[in-house]
Each structure stands twice: as C-alpha cells, then as structure tokens.
C-alpha cells in the first residue's frame, strides 16, 4: 500500500541545489510527488512504498548539497493521491515568508576545473557558476530569489544554458546566475591612456599591468578591489600613498594554497576557512622567509590571506608571473566600497592605473570578511561577504526590531522571528557619504526581508550619526526608540549568540563607549542579562589629555598614565618621549584645570599607553595600531606584572602597580617582547581575579567577554583559558565580531527585551 508524507525543510535551502537533490533522490527511489519553494522553507510531498519512503526520509537531509544547511526537517503524514512522477513546482509565495537568500559562494572545485578545461564550453569564462557557487546576496533585487529578481535578468539565457538551468539532474539546475560566453556578462579593460579591450584580451591587459607593477581596480562580487603585485615594494608603496592608507595591513590574495603555505603558517582550521564557500580573509602568522613586500603588513606578524573566490580572480592568476596580489577594498580610506563601473571610474581615477570592469551589476556592496583562527575558536573580525545574510539564530521570537549599531565598523541588525539578520560591514559612520550608504543598505535589507520594525535601537552616544539617524527615523515613523549602553550591547550580543539569558558577569573591553554617567567607558565589568545591566566594576579612570586627540596620539596616554601612577621623572623612564616635554606641560596644566580632559576607563587607551611607553607607537596611523604593535612584539612568557584591585561598589581595577613595573623593566633594559608579554599576562590575570571575586559575591556561574580589545588573540586566549582554569564558564563571540561590528545584534536584543 503506498503511503504519503509531507516534509517541511527550513534553513539555507534556496538557490543551493536543494530542490534538484530532492528530485534526484525521489526519482531514484521511484517515489511520486513534488517539491516547492515556499520562501522560508521547502515543502516536499512524496508518496510510494513505505520502505522507499523510509529510505527517502533517511537521506533527505543527510545527502543535501554541500552548501545547503538543513536546520529543521519536520515530517508529517499526508493522504496519498495516487499521482505519478515527481516534479519541481515553481516558487510559490506565501503570505508570511521569511526570506532566505543565501550568501555569496566562492568558486567551487567543479567550476574551477571547467574554467581551465579547454574542452569545456565555459573554458576561461569569467562568470562561471553553478548551484554550489557564485554570487547570491550581492545580485538579488527582491524575493523570492529567482533570476528575474537578480541583476542577471538582463542577460537572456542561450539555449544551452537554459537546457542546463531547466534540467533537474544538472549541476546548474536553477542556478540563478548561470551564464556562458555566448549569453553572459562580459569583462572590459579600460586604462588611463585610452586603452580598451573586451573579453579575454581585457584579462590579458589586466595581468600585464599587474605584472608591470601597476595598480588595477578589479570589479568582483561585492565591489571593487584595488590590486597590485604583493611582492613589488614600489607598487605596494604607490597603492598605499594613493589610497591614503599609509600603514594599516593590506589583504593578500594568493594564487593557490601552495602559495599561501609558502608565506603563512596554517592550521587545519585556517585551511578549512580559506577553502570554504565563505572564502574570507584569514589572518595567519607569516612564515619564515615569506616572499611578500614588507610594506604589506608592517605592524603585524600575520598576513590577511585569501584565495581567488570569483572566476575573474582565478583568471587574473592564470599564466601570470606573480603568485600574490594585494587585494584591498576599492575605495579611498574611510569611504564605502565602490560597486558601480562609472562611479569607480570617477572615485578611483587617481588611484588605479587601469580598470577591469564587467557588466553584471552589484546590487549590494559587500566587503570581504575577515576571520582570525585562535586556539579557543575562530574570531570573526569582519562579518560580511559569504556570511551575510545568513541569520544568527535567537532562542526567542522578538518580533521585528531594527538596531542601527555604533560608529566605527558599523553594521546594523534586523530581527524577524527567531532570526537576527546582521548586515554586511558598512564602515565608520563619520561622513555624509557613509551615512547615505548606511541608509540605503537599511532600506534595502528591510525590503528584502519584508519586515516592519516595531522599535528602533541605537547607542546612547548623543552625537553618533547612527543615533541621530535612528532618532529622526523613530520620530518620522512614530516608533519607540531604545538607547542601549554600548558595553551592555556588546555583552547582550554574546548572550544572544549563545542562546543565554544571563545573568552573567559581562567583561567588555574596548576603546570607547558612552557610559551611563556620561563619561567614556571602555573596560567594564557588568552584571548583565539580555535586558538589563549594572556596572559592578571598571578600570581606574584617567583623564584623556586633549580629549579625542588622545585617541590618535598614544604618547599622551603614556604620560597621563605615568602621571596617574606617580612616576616622578617620566622622561627618564621614557626618554624617547622627551621631545613631547613642552606639549605635555601645557596638556598637564589644562588637565589639572579640568580643561578638555574627559576621564575614561578605556582598555584601548591603556594598551595605547603601554605601546607608547615602550616606544612602539607614539601616534596611531589607524584605529588600533598601537595595540596591534604591542601584541605583535609580545613574547610567550610566564612573567606577569601585578595589578591592584580596589574592592568597592563598583570594584576598581588598578593598573598603576603594573605600569610602574613596566616602566621599571624598561628602564632596566629588559627586552621589549618580555615586557609586552608580561603586560598582556597581567591584564588577563587582573580580569580573571576580578571575575572570580565578582562571580562569588554575586553568585554568578558564567562570564561573557566582548569588545574590540578581545580581537587581541593574547587577551582573548589568556582570559578564556584563565577563567576556565578556575572553573568559570565563559562565553565569547564566535560567529559575530567582538568589535563594534557586533554591537547592533546586542542593541536589537536589549531593545526587544525591554519593549
Ligand atoms: Zn560551481
Ligand atoms: Zn549561455
Ligand atoms: Fe565597542
């Protein structure tokens, strides 16, 4: 007797070859029925012999295609209808659909093989893709995700492509961006001297320019890159000067894994990340004798490495003399990434010598993601292309909330049902261009998700552009606006990611966040739940001499902390800062008079101070430079410098004894790597001891860590292992960034809990 069953499959099951898989499996087992795309889920109706149906149930999720993610598969009994054959029903829209547009997927092995096979009809085709790879989020206009609603709509498929697209047994069945030489987009080369070329010649021109040390703007998946030969000092130097990015590390795209292995020390996890469908930039320690220009990442002991993830990238390396290209986002420092051909030609005119363009429009700008593997798990430093718009799963349905994030490394977040959709990296929101870009991306994601937020969340900082934007929008739409304290948002994001309610002891360490008392916070111990928080401890506050200027100039923090620590003769302990003597006298007098010297409990500024004390960095050329240099020199030592802890409410972490030891060691001529290592160890020990005291006092069993300071591997690993060794459960960010890129998720959760 035939029986029937209905399956509802949720997860990443659209545009990833899931329906063809269902079709093949049902056909193989001789089952009848249909599979339909319902937007949020795929519905399968099958009927046939019980044994075959059992086999089908067993293999449905198990044998799903590599990039599909089956999160839930609910089976129920259905009435057999006596139908025959199996078909794939066209996308059906339901009223309440949760959209699952997949993230962009890196070039797969099958397509990579076809790309270099002269017998294949897509030999050297710069847009080759299939259901297992290719652009998704960046080419989608609306939902459901179907070709007419992508930027491929204007390329009618040729007969051969259509046959593949419509054949359920083909690897390209319903691969929306499917294309070939005859029907697909084309590449074009344009250079300043009037040269132009189309198709294969365009790639040849681009390769020749790169080989000659020129800078080429390359249109890829989520935007433009600026590329140059990573082994060529003068090319890298020129790129830095023109892009106005003097010292910040640059990402490097390597020809293949062998080339990465020659330059970086990889763990198995790093290899897995590099070759996975997300294809992020992976931070990996550089190898002995690495052959790249020393200008690529002067402050770091690591390289940000990635593999060619679009066919156009793979073609740039074909028969080329170079093995590694700097691939930095195509913008001037602090501006959003370029996505449009004409826009790029204008904005990058003074930067690139030539342009490798194509005519497949990028509808959503998406920078490369950055992941740093550590001993205690992966740290996502930038969650963007390849990850977005995959949601973070929440343990509760919060309804629809929009959170606008912070100021630096902005992302925003929209919750819907039990999902939180964290946007791609937007950038630092400090000018009109970026704010306008932010606004467009918010509208665009709201449209894609078809949501109507019932509340808006923002930071408490009154002058953040994101806060102002949120205030205006809340007023315009008559929505409640929830101001969320910066460090509470950091901790709430970790709780949300791990499905925890708290209470926990939250340890939030970063550069700057607006505190509830109006002062600058940045090393905070919080008694936190998802909805509430109370400050139960913090770093000793010191004045920031000159306010904002102290953020850019760590030498000011070195002297401010030395003064706080009671160092009488700062310039004999730090002779390298003697030339700042006159400036310091003025600043010190002003600070004493309470002029332009706001107090702060910032971990970032403390790391700045120590870096400057050791002569590693007097002025920050980019955010986080001084701490990065301090981490880079820190030796793996057992030595530590002891802190004080002043009990009280709140408890105060006192680094003054540690700083006196640091200066002492420095004066005695101890090696810098020893001192830096000891400082890192002391910082972690102080946090662990404070956590032990507060957890006991407040009867807490767990700690949650977050904030930009935990991008420092030494700090993250030291705190995680330290807390574990004393039996405290510790939560820290794995899927979302510890820096302000993760803030919007926390804001959304806090606001949702309060509203
Ligand atoms: Zn493929
Ligand atoms: Zn075609
Ligand atoms: Fe922060």
Give pLDDT tens digits for 242-284: 999 889 999 999 999 999 999 999 999 999 999 999 999 999 9
Ligand positioned closest to the Cα atom of 181: 2
The C-alpha torsion from 223 through 229 and 232 to 235, rounded to 10°, is -40
Is the link from the previous residue into 503 a cis peptide, with omega within 30 of 0? yes
Distance in Å, CA 138 to ligand 2 centroid: 21
Using DSSP's 3-state secondary structure scheme, residue 628 falls into helix
Give the lowest-confidence range in 206-210, 279-283, 345-349, 679-683.
345-349
Between CA 469 and CA 434 the distance in angstroms is 12
Cα 475 to Cα 96, 367, 472, 478: the distances in Å are: 27, 32, 5, 5
Sign of CA dihedral 433, 439, 445, 447: negative
Sign of CA dihedral 191, 197, 200, 204: negative
Question: For the chain, what percent of residues have pLDDT higher than 90?
Answer: 84
Distance in Å, CA 234 to ligand 1 centroid: 36
Pair 217, 343: CB distance under 8 Å: no
Between CA 226 and CA 472 the distance in angstroms is 36
Q: Which residues contact 33 (CB under 8 A, 6 or more apart)?
A: 4, 26, 44, 45, 46, 47, 48, 83, 86
Between CA 403 and CA 400 the distance in angstroms is 10
Distance in Å, CA 181 to ligand 2 centroid: 6
- Mean pLDDT for 655-661 is 98
Ligand positioned closest to the Cα atom of 129: 1
pTM for this predicted structure = 0.90
Give pLDDT tens digits for 684-707: 999 999 999 999 999 999 999 999
Between CA 402 and CA 454 the distance in angstroms is 8
Distance in Å, CA 182 to ligand 2 centroid: 5
pLDDT for residue 317: 98
What average pLDDT is seen over the chain?
Answer: 94
Distance in Å, CA 509 to ligand 3 centroid: 7
Distance in Å, CA 260 to ligand 1 centroid: 22
Residue 193 has pLDDT above 80, yes or no: no
- Mean pLDDT for 426-430 is 92
Ligand positioned closest to the Cα atom of 66: 1
pLDDT for residue 94: 43
Distance of CA 7 to the CA centre of its chain: 34
Expressed in angstroms, the distance from the first to the final Cα of the chain is 54
Give pLDDT tens digits for 288-330: 888 899 999 999 999 999 999 999 999 999 999 999 999 999 9
Instruction: pLDDT band for 430, please (50, 70, 90 cuts).
Output: confident
Distance in Å, CA 379 to ligand 1 centroid: 27
Instruction: pLDDT band for 659, please (50, 70, 90 cuts).
Output: very high
pLDDT for residue 753: 93
pLDDT for residue 92: 56
Instruction: pLDDT band for 361, please (50, 70, 90 cuts).
Output: very high
Distance in Å, CA 160 to ligand 2 centroid: 6
Instruction: pLDDT band for 84, please (50, 70, 90 cuts).
Output: confident
Using DSSP's 3-state secondary structure scheme, residue 716 falls into helix
Q: Which residue has the tokens 């390769």?
A: 207
Give pLDDT tens digits for 98-115: 456 889 999 999 999 999
- Mean pLDDT for 590-604 is 94
- Work out the widest C-alpha separation in the chain, in whole angstroms: 95
Give pLDDT tens digits for 362-376: 999 999 999 999 999
Residue 148 has pLDDT above 60, yes or no: yes
Distance in Å, CA 162 to ligand 3 centroid: 49
Give pLDDT tens digits for 405-421: 999 999 999 999 889 99
Residue 39 has pLDDT above 70, yes or no: no
Ligand positioned closest to the Cα atom of 522: 3
């Amino acid at each position: 007797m035939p029986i029937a069953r209905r399956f509802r499959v949720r997860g990443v099951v659209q545009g990833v070859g899931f329906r063809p898989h269902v079709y093949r499996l049902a056909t193989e087992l001789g089952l009848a029925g249909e599979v339909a795309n319902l937007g949020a889920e795929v519905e399968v109706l099958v009927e046939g012999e019980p044994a075959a149906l059992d086999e089908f149930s067993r293999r449905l999720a198990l044998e799903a295609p590599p990039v599909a993610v089956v999160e839930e598969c609910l089976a129920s009994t259905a009435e057999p209808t006596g139908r025959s054959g199996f078909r794939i029903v066209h996308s059906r829209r339901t009223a309440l659909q949760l959209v699952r547009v997949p993230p962009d997927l890196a070039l797969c092995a099958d397509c990579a093989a076809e790309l270099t096979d002269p017998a294949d009809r897509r030999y050297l085709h710069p847009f080759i893709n299939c259901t297992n790879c290719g652009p998704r989020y960046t080419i989608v206009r609306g939902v459901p995700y179907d070709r007419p609603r992508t930027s491929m709509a204007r390329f009618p498929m040729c007969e051969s492509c259509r046959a593949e697209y419509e054949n359920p047994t083909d690897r390209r069945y319903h691969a929306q961006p499917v294309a070939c030489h005859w029907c697909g987009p084309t590449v074009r080369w344009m250079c300043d001297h009037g040269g132009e070329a189309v198709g294969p010649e365009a790639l040849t021109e681009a390769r020749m320019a790169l080989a000659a040390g020129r800078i080429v703007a390359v249109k890829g998946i989520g935007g433009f890159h600026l590329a140059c030969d990573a082994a060529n000092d003068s090319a890298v130097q020129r790129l830095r000067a023109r892009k106005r990015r003097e010292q910040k590390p640059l990402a490097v795209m390597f020809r293949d894994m062998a080339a990465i292995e020659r330059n970086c020390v990889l763990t198995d996890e790093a290899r897995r990340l590099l070759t996975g469908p997300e294809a992020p930039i992976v931070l990996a320690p550089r190898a002995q004798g690495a052959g790249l220009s020393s200008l690529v990442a002067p402050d770091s002991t690591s390289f940000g490495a990635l593999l060619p993830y679009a066919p156009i990238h793979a073609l740039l390396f074909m028969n080329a003399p170079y093995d590694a290209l700097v691939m930095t986002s195509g913008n001037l420092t602090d501006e959003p990434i370029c996505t449009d051909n004409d826009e790029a030609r204008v904005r990058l005119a003074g930067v690139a010598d030539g342009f490798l363009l194509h005519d497949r429009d990028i509808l959503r700008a998406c920078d490369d993601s950055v992941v740093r593997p550590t001993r205690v798990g992966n740290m996502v430093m930038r969650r963007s292309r390849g990850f977005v718009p995959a949601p973070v799963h929440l343990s509760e349905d919060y309804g629809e909330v929009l959170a606008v994030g912070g100021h630096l490394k902005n992302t925003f977040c929209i919750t819907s049902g039990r999902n939180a959709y964290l946007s791609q990296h937007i950038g630092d929101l400090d000018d009109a261009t970026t704010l306008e870009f932010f606004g467009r991306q918010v509208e665009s994601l709201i449209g894609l998700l078809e949501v109507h937020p019932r509340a808006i969340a923002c930071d408490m900082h009154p002058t953040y552009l994101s806060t102002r934007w949120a205030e205006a929008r809340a007023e315009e739409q008559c929505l409640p606006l929830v101001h969320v304290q910066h460090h509470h948002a950091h901790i709430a994001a970790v709780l949300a990611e791990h499905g925890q309610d708290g209470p926990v002891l939250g340890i939030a360490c970063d550069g700057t966040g607006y505190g509830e008392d109006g002062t600058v916070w940045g090393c905070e111990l919080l008694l936190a739940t998802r909805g509430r928080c109370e400050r139960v401890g913090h770093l000793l506050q010191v004045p920031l001499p000159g306010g904002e200027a102290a953020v850019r100039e760590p030498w000011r923090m070195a002297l401010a902390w030395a003064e706080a620590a009671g160092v009488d003769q700062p310039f004999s302990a730090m002779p390298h800062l003697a030339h700042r003597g006159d400036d310091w006298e003025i600043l010190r007098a002003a600070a004493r008079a309470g002029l332009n010297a706001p107090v702060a409990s910032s971990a970032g500024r403390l790391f700045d101070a120590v870096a400057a004390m050791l002569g590693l960095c007097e002025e920050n050329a980019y955010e986080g430079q001084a701490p990065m240099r301090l981490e880079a020199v820190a030796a793996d030592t057992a030595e530590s410098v002891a802190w004080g802890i002043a009990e009280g409410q709140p408890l105060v972490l006192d680094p003054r004894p540690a700083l006196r030891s640091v200066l002492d060691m420095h004066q005695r001529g101890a090696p810098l790597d020893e001192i830096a290592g000891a400082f890192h160890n002391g910082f972690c020990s102080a946090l662990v001891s404070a956590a032990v005291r507060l957890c006991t006092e407040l009867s807490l069993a767990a700690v949650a860590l977050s904030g930009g300071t935990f991008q420092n591997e030494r700090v993250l690993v030291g705190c995680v292992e330290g807390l574990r060794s004393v039996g405290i459960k510790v939560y820290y960010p794995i899927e979302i960034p510890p820096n302000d890129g993760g803030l919007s998720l926390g804001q959304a959760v806090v606001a949702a809990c309060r509203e």
